[in-house]
């Protein structure tokens, strides 16, 4: 196999790796954890009794009970808390715009079709409120005041001497919401509550596209299992049921995540359940301490809901930062994002940061790339002689191969020398691909001129066209294939790749464009140098021949 075939192999391998990695991200398999039905009898230390089911599946569809909405406005959120269950039914992110750029990004919602995305909590036990119970609120709306760092919203439910306060505390500039229960037992009997936290989500919305697939589904983390993703189809096959003394559960989608984070050290059981054809829930439940008559118990928890910004995720809970999933190349991608962020902190423009990061990566691989380009340049100089050999031997491939090997040996050229340096750089490219695809920091981040969103496609397709042009130039700089079929493939390769890049985020295309321009400059220089060496060598050979005669 000569260098041209190897280069083709590398290019196609990169494409296959990217597509395979994208498919893996969207179709992540369920973990091999033993499972049982959520509504079966749970163990006494985690979930109450068999009659304390949270609710039951609905065969004909899924409908939420609805009461009054309490509207809460903070610096980061606009939220609807429903008096039925005290659910978070609608949540807008005020610092993130919707795709139409005109309105706040709607993360949680109970009214859009097919989207259903709500956060629920409840208490299981006699006279205790579930997410189907009705709470009361002192006000119909709340707003965080200037100069205040937090806002408290208090809901209450009273039944047969048991008073339950469900208290939301919103914090300025934090995407963590404290959700605390205060249970006061003024009844005549002791109670042992089970607290649960769950998210209900449909299986159809936010699924990405065929060319740019993204994962939307369940996710959970414990110190034992580490970070796991759970597709809705896998929830339908095998409901999740694991126990732990730590960790969180949530829903993951492109750029955003919601996660219930129970009290540290509280034993918990993680569960999933299919509620209807396209509605699922994922949650955690825990048995609390017995509350004697006249006693009160406080049950703290936190709910993270917002963008996948690294610093916010790290501050919220261990393992939550892994919701920005770079797949099997995390070990490379994480340092790349760290460096990209550091560059951005200086230049204050993500597009400029991408350009500078590309230059740094290119500099790191400069010598390695140079050796590859040198080998390809040497092959380029041999192209006329290889073409002559092809014409001489015709269809006798065996003689052709023998003659080629003799020529490579005589000229001291390694035909595989141009492939290895490219292979080394493939993991870095794929890792950076996932960094640029998955970083919410690039969402709606402007570059210059017509590029006002580095996470979206170039609206005028200028970057993909320029990228295609650079690929054509690179093709001209590479050794010309002697095989007509290979020559046609190399001719059409830039066109095919350009079509793919028409649908890629502008930030990723910008990276590849800058990388190509730098590669062209380096390859042109190496080609020129090798050509000069070849000419000098020929002249020296002619001179020696003349002296000999």
Model confidence at 21: pLDDT above 70: no
**472 close to 544: Cβ distance less than 8 angstroms:** no
Model confidence at 22: pLDDT above 90: no
Q: How much is the average pLDDT of 154-169? A: 97
Please give the mean pLDDT across all residues of the chain.
Answer: 82
The one-character DSSP state at 280 is E
**362 close to 513: Cβ distance less than 8 angstroms:** no
pLDDT score, position 489: 72
Q: How much is the average pLDDT of 330-347? A: 94
Q: How far apart are the C-alpha atoms of 401 and 439, rounded to whole Å?
A: 48
- Of 437 and 386, which is predicted with more confidence? 437
- Of 338 and 393, which is predicted with more confidence? 338
Nearest alpha carbon to residue 73 among 171, 137, 144: 144
Instruction: Calculate what percentage of the chain has a pLDDT beyond 90.
Output: 54
pLDDT score, position 468: 87
Q: What are phi and psi of 120, to 5 degrees?
A: -130, 155
pLDDT score, position 62: 72
CB atoms within 10 A of CB 354: 27
Model confidence at 178: pLDDT above 70: yes
Q: How much is the average pLDDT of 288-292? A: 96
Q: How much is the average pLDDT of 174-191? A: 96
Q: For 103-157, what is each residue's pLDDT tens digit?
A: 999 999 998 788 899 999 999 998 899 999 999 999 999 999 999 999 999 999 9
Q: Is 62 helix (H, G, I), strand (E, B) or coil?
A: coil
The one-character DSSP state at 68 is P
Model confidence at 312: pLDDT above 90: yes
pLDDT score, position 51: 34
Model confidence at 12: pLDDT above 50: no
Burial 190-215 (b: 16+ CB within 10 A, else e): ebebbbbbbbbbbbebbeeeeeebbb
Name the band, by pLDDT with cuts 50, 70 and 90, for residue 39: very low
pLDDT score, position 104: 94
The token pair that represents 281 in the structure block? 């829930």
Instruction: Calculate what percentage of the chain has a pLDDT beyond 70.
Output: 78
How large is the angle between the packed helices 484-501 and 462-477, nearest 10 degrees?
160
pLDDT score, position 492: 76
pTM: 0.80
**44 close to 50: Cβ distance less than 8 angstroms:** no
**283 close to 260: Cβ distance less than 8 angstroms:** yes
**258 close to 119: Cβ distance less than 8 angstroms:** yes
Name the band, by pLDDT with cuts 50, 70 and 90, for residue 45: very low
The token pair that represents 446 in the structure block? 């402007």
pLDDT score, position 544: 54
**154 close to 72: Cβ distance less than 8 angstroms:** no
Classify residue 263 as exposed, middle or buried by CB count within 10 Å of its CB (0-12, 13-18, 19+).
middle
**208 close to 503: Cβ distance less than 8 angstroms:** no
Q: How far apart are the C-alpha atoms of 394 and 478, rounded to whole Å?
A: 24
**258 close to 250: Cβ distance less than 8 angstroms:** yes
Q: For 486-525, what is each residue's pLDDT tens digit?
A: 667 767 777 777 788 888 889 989 998 998 899 898 888 8
pLDDT score, position 231: 95
Q: Is 92 helix (H, G, I), strand (E, B) or coil?
A: strand
**169 close to 150: Cβ distance less than 8 angstroms:** yes
């Amino acid at each position: 196999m000569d260098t041209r075939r190897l280069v083709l192999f590398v290019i196609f391998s990169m494409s296959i790796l990217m597509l395979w990695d994208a498919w893996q991200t969207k179709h992540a398999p369920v973990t091999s954890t033993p499972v049982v039905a959520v509504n079966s009898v749970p163990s006494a230390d985690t979930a109450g009794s068999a009659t304390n089911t949270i609710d039951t599946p609905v065969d004909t569809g899924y409908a939420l009970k609805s009461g009054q909405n309490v509207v809460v406005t903070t610096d980061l959120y606009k939220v609807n808390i429903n008096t039925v269950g005290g659910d978070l039914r609608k949540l807008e992110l005020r610092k993130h715009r919707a795709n139409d750029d005109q309105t706040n990004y709607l993360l949680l919602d109970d009214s859009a079709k097919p989207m259903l995305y709500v956060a629920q909590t409840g208490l299981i036990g006699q006279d205790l409120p579930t997410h189907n119970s009705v709470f009361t609120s002192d006000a119909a709306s709340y707003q965080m005041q200037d100069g205040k760092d937090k806002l408290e919203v208090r809901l209450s439910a009273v039944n047969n001497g048991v008073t339950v306060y469900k208290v939301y505390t919103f914090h300025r500039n934090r995407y963590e919401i404290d959700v605390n229960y205060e249970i006061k037992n003024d009844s005549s009997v002791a109670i042992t509550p089970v607290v649960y936290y769950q998210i209900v989500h449909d299986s159809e919305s936010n699924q990405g596209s065929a060319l740019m697939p993204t994962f939307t589904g369940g996710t959970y983390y414990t110190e034992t299992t580490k970070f796991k993703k759970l597709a809705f189809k896998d929830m339908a096959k095998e409901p999740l049921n694991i126990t732990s003394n730590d960790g969180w559960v949530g829903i993951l989608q492109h750029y955003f995540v919601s996660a219930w984070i129970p009290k540290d050290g509280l034993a918990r059981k993680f569960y999933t359940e299919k509620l209807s054809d396209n509605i699922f829930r994922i949650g955690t439940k825990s048995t609390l301490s017995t509350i004697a008559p006249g006693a009160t118990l406080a049950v703290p928890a936190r709910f993270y809901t917002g963008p996948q910004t690294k610093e916010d995720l790290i501050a919220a809970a261990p393992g939550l930062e892994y919701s920005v999933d770079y797949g099997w190349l995390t070990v490379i991608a994480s340092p790349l994002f760290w460096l990209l962020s550091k560059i951005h902190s200086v230049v204050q423009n993500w597009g400029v940061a991408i350009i500078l990061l590309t230059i740094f990566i290119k500099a790191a691989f400069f010598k390695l790339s140079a050796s590859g380009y040198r080998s390809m340049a040497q092959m380029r100089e041999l192209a006329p002689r290889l073409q002559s050999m092809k014409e001489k031997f015709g269809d006798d491939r065996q003689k052709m191969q023998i003659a080629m090997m003799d020529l490579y040996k005589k000229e001291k050229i390694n035909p595989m020398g141009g492939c290895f340096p490219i292979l080394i750089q493939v993991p870095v490219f794929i890792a950076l691909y996932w960094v640029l695809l998955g970083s919410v920091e690039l969402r709606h981040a402007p570059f210059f001129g017509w590029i006002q969103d580095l996470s979206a496609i170039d609206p005028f397709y200028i970057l993909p066209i320029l990228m295609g042009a650079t690929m054509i130039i690179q093709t001209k700089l590479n050794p010309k294939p002697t095989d007509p079929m290979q020559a046609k493939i190399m001719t059409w390769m830039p066109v095919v790749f350009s079509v793919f890049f028409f649908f890629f985020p502008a930030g990723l295309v910008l990276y590849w464009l800058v990388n190509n321009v730098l590669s062209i400059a380096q390859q042109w220089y190496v080609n020129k140098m090798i050509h000069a060496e070849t000419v000098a060598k020929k002249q020296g050979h002619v001179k020696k021949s003349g002296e000999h005669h």
